[in-house]
């Protein structure tokens, strides 16, 4: 019996065990529900292994297979379509500049996987994306998720350097603070308020902004602070190295696939599927899924991957993923998110908000915000352009409309 079935059986046993007192049962269920909401979500290791196997034939180089796995998605065996089984977000038609994690975080911020894995301090750094494309190059969405919120304001970071070594050749404190660093108090080690990355062994000629972007390229604050041109120059050598490594992996993968035996015709495929539908695991799953779903999963597995499911749980997840697609899409293509298109819709909303809303200069001035700098931040979801990059992350509500800020968008504004 697979792990997921075992969990479901245990849950059913718990529900049946106390039928005597209905009121007490409802009270207990409410308590369990409240505790579950507060409890940290932890995914089974075996489930993540299944996730990896759903991407065994991922068709794209960027976003890479590893990025999709780290972002919590499962492959759907339909082109580049992916799904999150927790929040039911379905995305397709990815382009090279899309960031799966940012997409998952921004479009489904309440997803339990997002909250527990994509916002945690031990998040594994993603692969550098190819940002040479001219598709929306001047817009970056940055969620509010500082690791060290106490140091989100520049003056607070500046104050932390009160014991900064004076007898060493070190970068200027102003440069370090603007680059997002605060002093940890140990030797010459500084830490970023946003990504929690630390650097030491500084030289007087070291540029804190460049070093921050070089060593922690996935820090969204420094990425936004640098701007596209500088950031891309810093990352260029890394992208070249990663491209070479990816080509080697693709070459190995291609050689492996070419050595596999192909299923010659549909007649043989039908026979193989029919034999598997008689297996005990398939019979058990018919209590949960229609036979057409189980049959389709076996067909896709044998046709695309030329092998049986590694475990019963793999088959269960394949059926669950297919069923969720049928339920959520429901014949409507609009229910499938195209990340780049969705981002464009957000940008259009920002433009509309800026055209219809007149900023209050007095209110903006009270926050020491700058509207004259060509590099600015728009507060999301309201869309008001109300702050510069260094100051923006100290705000929790929009200075103009007071609406809570969920993320920032960096935009270039022409004042002509």
- For residues 271 and 224, membership in a common domain is answered with no
Query: Quick one: 147 and 226 in the same domain?
Result: yes
Q: Specify the pLDDT at position 51.
A: 94
* C-alpha to C-alpha distance for 182 and 176, rounded to whole angstroms: 7
Are 278 and 387 contained in the same domain?
no
- Mean pLDDT computed over every residue of the chain: 74
Q: Which helix (H) or strand (E) holds 387?
A: strand 385-387
The strand pairing partners of 413, in sequence order, are none
How many domains is the chain partitioned into structurally? 4
Identify the CA nearest to 87 among candidates 65, 99, 103, 66. 103
- Would you say residue 237 lies in a domain? yes
Question: Are residues 190 and 235 both part of a single domain?
Answer: yes
- 15 lies in the same domain as 31: yes
Q: Residue range 271-287: average pLDDT?
A: 88
* pTM flag (> 0.75): no
Q: Is residue 78 part of a domain?
A: no
pLDDT digits (tens, 9 = 90+) for 105-134: 888 888 999 888 887 433 433 332 333 333
pLDDT of residue 368: 37
Whole-number percent of the chain with pLDDT over 90: 25
- Residue 219 forms part of a structural domain: yes
Query: Do 237 and 304 lie in a common domain?
Result: no
Same domain? 240 vs 274: no
Q: What does the pLDDT look like over 210-225, one tens digit per residue?
A: 889 888 888 888 888 8
Q: What is the CATH number of the domain that holds 155?
A: 1.10.1170.10
**Confidence (pLDDT) at 126:** 34
* 247 and 283 assigned to the same domain: no
Tell me the mean pLDDT in the region 275-286. 89
Token pair for 286 = 């018919």
The pLDDT score that the predictor gives to residue 166 is 82
Domain assignment present for 63 = no
Tell me, yes or no, whether 202 and 287 share the same domain: no
Q: Does residue 128 form part of some domain? A: no
Which of 44-53, 98-107, 402-411 has the lowest average pLDDT? 402-411
Boundary of a domain, candidates 309, 329, 349: 329
Confidence check: pLDDT of 397 > 90: no
For the chain, give the number of residues. 416
pLDDT at 9 over 90: no
Across 34-38, 97-101, 189-193, 373-377, least confident range: 34-38
Mapping DSSP to helix (H, G, I), strand (E, B) and coil, where does residue 110 land? coil
Structure tokens at 159: 């104050």
Percent above pLDDT 70 for the chain: 64
377 and 312 co-located in one domain: no
Asked whether residue 341 is domain-assigned, the answer is no
Shared domain for 230 and 253, answered yes or no, is: yes
List pLDDT tens digits, range 177-203. 999 999 988 888 899 998 888 898 888
Would you say residue 95 lies in a domain? no
The reply to whether 247 and 228 lie within a common domain is yes
Average pLDDT (302-326) is: 90
Single residue among 260, 287, 310 that ends a domain in this structure: 260
| CATH value at residue 373 | 3.30.40.10
Q: Is 368 within the bounds of a domain?
A: yes
Who contacts 399 (Cβ-Cβ below 8 Å, separation ≥6)?
363, 364, 366, 367, 369, 384, 386, 387
Domain boundary among 260, 289, 318: 260
For residue 105, the tally of other CB atoms under 10 A from its CB is: 22
Helices (H) and strands (E) in the chain, counts: 18, 10
* Domain span holding position 23: 3-35
Chain segment 24-42, per-residue pLDDT in tens = 445 444 544 443 444 467 7
């Amino acid at each position: 019996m697979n792990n997921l079935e075992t969990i479901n059986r245990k849950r059913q046993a718990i529900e049946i065990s106390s039928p005597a007192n209905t009121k007490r049962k409802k009270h207990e269920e409410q308590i369990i529900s409240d505790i579950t909401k507060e409890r940290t979500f932890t995914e089974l290791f075996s489930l993540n292994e299944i996730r990896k196997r759903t991407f065994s034939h991922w068709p794209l180089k960027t976003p890479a297979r590893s990025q999709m796995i780290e972002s919590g998605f499962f492959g759907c065996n339909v082109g580049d379509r992916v799904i999150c089984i927790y929040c039911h977000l379905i995305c397709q038609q990815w382009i090279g500049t899309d960031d799966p994690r940012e997409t998952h975080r921004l479009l489904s911020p309440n997803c339990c996987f997002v909250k527990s894995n994509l916002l945690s301090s031990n998040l594994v750094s993603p692969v550098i994306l190819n940002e040479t494309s001219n598709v929306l190059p001047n817009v970056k969405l940055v969620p509010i998720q500082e690791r060290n919120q106490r140091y989100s304001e520049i003056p607070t970071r500046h104050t932390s350097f009160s014991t900064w070594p004076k007898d060493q050749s070190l970068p200027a404190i102003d440069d370090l603070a603007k680059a997002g660093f605060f002093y940890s108090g140990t030797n010459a080690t500084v830490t970023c308020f946003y990504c929690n990355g630390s650097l030491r062994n500084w030289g007087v000629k070291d540029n804190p902004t460049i070093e921050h972007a070089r060593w922690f390229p996935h820090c969204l604050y420094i990425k936004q602070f640098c701007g596209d041109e500088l950031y891309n120059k810093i990352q260029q050598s890394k992208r070249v190295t990663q491209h070479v490594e990816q080509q080697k992996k693709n070459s190995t993968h291609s050689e492996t696939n070419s050595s596999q035996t192909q299923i010659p015709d549909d007649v043989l495929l039908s026979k193989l599927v029919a034999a598997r539908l008689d297996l005990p695991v398939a019979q058990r799953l018919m209590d949960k899924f229609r036979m057409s779903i189980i049959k389709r999963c076996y067909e896709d597995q044998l046709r695309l991957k030329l092998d049986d499911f590694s475990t019963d749980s793999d088959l269960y997840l394949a059926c669950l993923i297919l069923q969720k697609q049928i339920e959520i899409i429901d014949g409507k293509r609009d229910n499938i998110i195209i990340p780049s298109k969705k981002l464009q819709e957000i940008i259009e909303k920002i433009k509309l908000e800026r055209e219809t809303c007149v900023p209050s200069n007095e209110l903006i001035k009270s926050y020491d915000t700058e509207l004259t700098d060509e590099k600015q931040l728009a507060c999301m979801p309201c869309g008001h352009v109300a702050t510069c990059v260094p100051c923006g992350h100290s705000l929790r509500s929009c200075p103009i409309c007071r609406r809570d800020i969920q993320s920032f968008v960096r935009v270039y504004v022409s004042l002509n």
